[in-house]
Structure 1
């Protein structure tokens, strides 16, 4: 089939397998040229097919030589419909991992369910016996509770008062004022149910109970704080409350892991172009400014470089820990000079100058590349098979 980008609102509903492979191969090549050492050799990555989860798997495998089990929730392509980008990313990752003789197996299903947790534990016992690092990198719009069966949906809304600020349509480059009404108490709680720390805690509880965590095992969950510009819609909004719940859960998880000499960490990472960030008002404009300012200062990092730096610091024991015990790998984004310049440009940006004073073009290009589109050496006018196999899929 001929595969082109198709959209529903801000959501891209198609993905190109060859383009996704190109994206993954580029990340792998960078890590092969910039290897890091680590004591972690058997790793479970929950949410392993895109973003920081995918980068964690790539760095672990090709940087450390680690054995990895990845949990994903993606769709395979058919004769008439493309698979998800995460499916194609995982297929490309496993192909390279197997070629280089690395252990890599993937479980596809709802990570929130007990069924997938049990299946994962069975695989660990069978193949790895135990794991020494658990990465939790889940971003989902909904969650079905494994005990009650209740389905919760996450929302992106401010809390208390309506939110008004600038935003941008990254397809038309129109800068406009946006307004979003505040979330209800039920919407806040549902967002916490989906994006908070309960599921992370359940995973660790079940892994401990099954005795598949190695002595000294650690776990890391990824979070985001961001600048004052995005606070009302993000950190002070529904997603931010859920992230606070995730971060608070790390304290309880840390106590549980102490019994085996382990630790739980929260890593606060930098803002990235993702499917989710593209749909959050204000954020595309902020990331477009952030990208421009950080590149001008020689500070920019993509997901893979960010995780490479995180894991390098982790191995060297030189992590940047804040007063709340969180690893601050967003330190370059939050530098005073970076944020000062962004605030200045934020006041100036309009539809007329957005292409000049921001990197909105780069944001749009990076968004398309998430789905395998926009690579010069991929022929998008060529018929492509959308049915791609993941070799070690369970």
Structure 2
């Protein structure tokens, strides 16, 4: 037993440790929000899904929604760190352990592979597992957020950049000092052509294609196979740093990849999700402030990742008609981009100052949501009690 008293120690939006019990409770809370749509199925009739990026953010929500609503089988892939003598495991490690336990309780056969999703060796191992256990997949959900990528074919390391394109951009951004919100002005540098190209290599669609191609080469695409890559468009307020910036170039490549796959006869789409507090989004200047303002405007009407993932699965399975835009993208973000919502957010954005940021934005909610990413501030967890930190990665069935 290695029980430890875990406290949230870190800087900004990054914490050194995560709380195992809090992460497990968070998974339970998310699954409790999902209403099962189907009765228990036999192994032969269960949908089989491969979720690349299954331990955090929208990938985690997609995994949990699929398990809870449709009893999916399959494989989740993520890259997490195990506990050490000095540090706990990453939050995604503990969330994955809790997700595996939930899948077992549901009677789903769902395996989790802890490895670099970009590596060819990972693809080979995952496809071997799929071939052995399921004979193929019905769905591939691609939800990878990584700062860098090593191309296994060339051994080249690509680094993503969060920068503007064309000209520098200044934006308001929220930060916290001892839990108190601060409003900052942040200068966003212009990305070089090389930085844009590297960002596309990391966050674009090349690896998504390689997963699809690898499945196809192994004849593991079941009849009616479909795949979706999760993406984001967002507001005009964040456009210069996101959609019109280096990240946006990668997202545009992701959408072009969907069209390329579709032209080959693969049913492939991007799913445009709404804004949320994730470990990836909190690192982008301006996004935290924008999401805080969005929640201030919408409150409980703001759709969570698990709510959006329920809608995603309903559309993937044909339970409901897909909601597409003119470019063929699934749109789960219409609630966010409603003109009246955006007008209210813009009004608050322009009104936000150093003196009123705590009132204009829902800063306390945002900060608590960031802490919840690491398993803190989760209702029902006693943080004054030690908790077991040596949690095993789920074993393959």
Q: Please classify the TM superposition score into its range, dividing by the shorter chain length.
A: over 0.9
- Does 2:228 align with 1:213? no
User: What are the residue-to-residue correspondences of 1:45-194 with 2, within 5 Å?
Assistant: 45-170=51-176, 171-194=179-202
- The range that moved more, 308-317 or 112-121, is 308-317
How far residue 136 of structure 1 moved from its aligned partner, in angstroms, is: 0.3
- Does 2:32 align with 1:29? yes
Residues 74, 134 of structure 2: 8 Å contact kept? no
User: Structure 1 pair 265/40, CA: closer, same or farther in 2 (3 Å)?
Assistant: farther
How far residue 376 of structure 1 moved from its aligned partner, in angstroms, is: 3.7
Q: RMSD of the TM alignment (CA)?
A: 1.7
- The range that moved more, 147-156 or 172-181, is 172-181
TM-score, normalised via structure 2 length: 0.94
Given candidates 285, 292, 298, the residue that maps to 1:294 is 298
How far residue 351 of structure 1 moved from its aligned partner, in angstroms, is: 2.2
User: What are the residue-to-residue correspondences of 1:235-274 with 2, within 5 Å?
Assistant: 235-256=243-264, 258=265, 262-274=266-278
Following the alignment from structure 2 to structure 1, what is the Cα–Cα distance between the partners of residues 228 and 296? 29
Following the alignment from structure 1 to structure 2, what is the Cα–Cα distance between the partners of residues 147 and 386? 37
TM-score, normalised via structure 1 length: 0.94
Following the alignment from structure 2 to structure 1, what is the Cα–Cα distance between the partners of residues 49 and 75? 6
Q: Helix, strand or coil: the match of 1:352?
A: coil
* Alignment size in residue pairs: 387
User: What are the residue-to-residue correspondences of 1:278-293 with 2, within 5 Å?
Assistant: 278-293=282-297
Residues 43, 134 of structure 1: 8 Å contact kept? yes
Following the alignment from structure 1 to structure 2, what is the Cα–Cα distance between the partners of residues 220 and 207? 14
User: Structure 1 pair 153/307, CA: closer, same or farther in 2 (3 Å)?
Assistant: same
Deviations 1:311-350 (A, max 9, x none): 2234234222111111111000000110011111111111
Gaps of 5+ in 2: none
Given candidates 371, 385, 390, the residue that maps to 1:368 is 371
Following the alignment from structure 2 to structure 1, what is the Cα–Cα distance between the partners of residues 379 and 276? 22
Following the alignment from structure 1 to structure 2, what is the Cα–Cα distance between the partners of residues 18 and 24? 10
Q: Helix, strand or coil: the match of 1:148?
A: coil
How far residue 8 of structure 1 moved from its aligned partner, in angstroms, is: 4.5
Following the alignment from structure 1 to structure 2, what is the Cα–Cα distance between the partners of residues 36 and 319? 19
User: What are the residue-to-residue correspondences of 1:370-389 with 2, within 5 Å?
Assistant: 370-389=373-392
User: Structure 1 pair 375/230, CA: closer, same or farther in 2 (3 Å)?
Assistant: same
Gaps of 5+ in 1: none
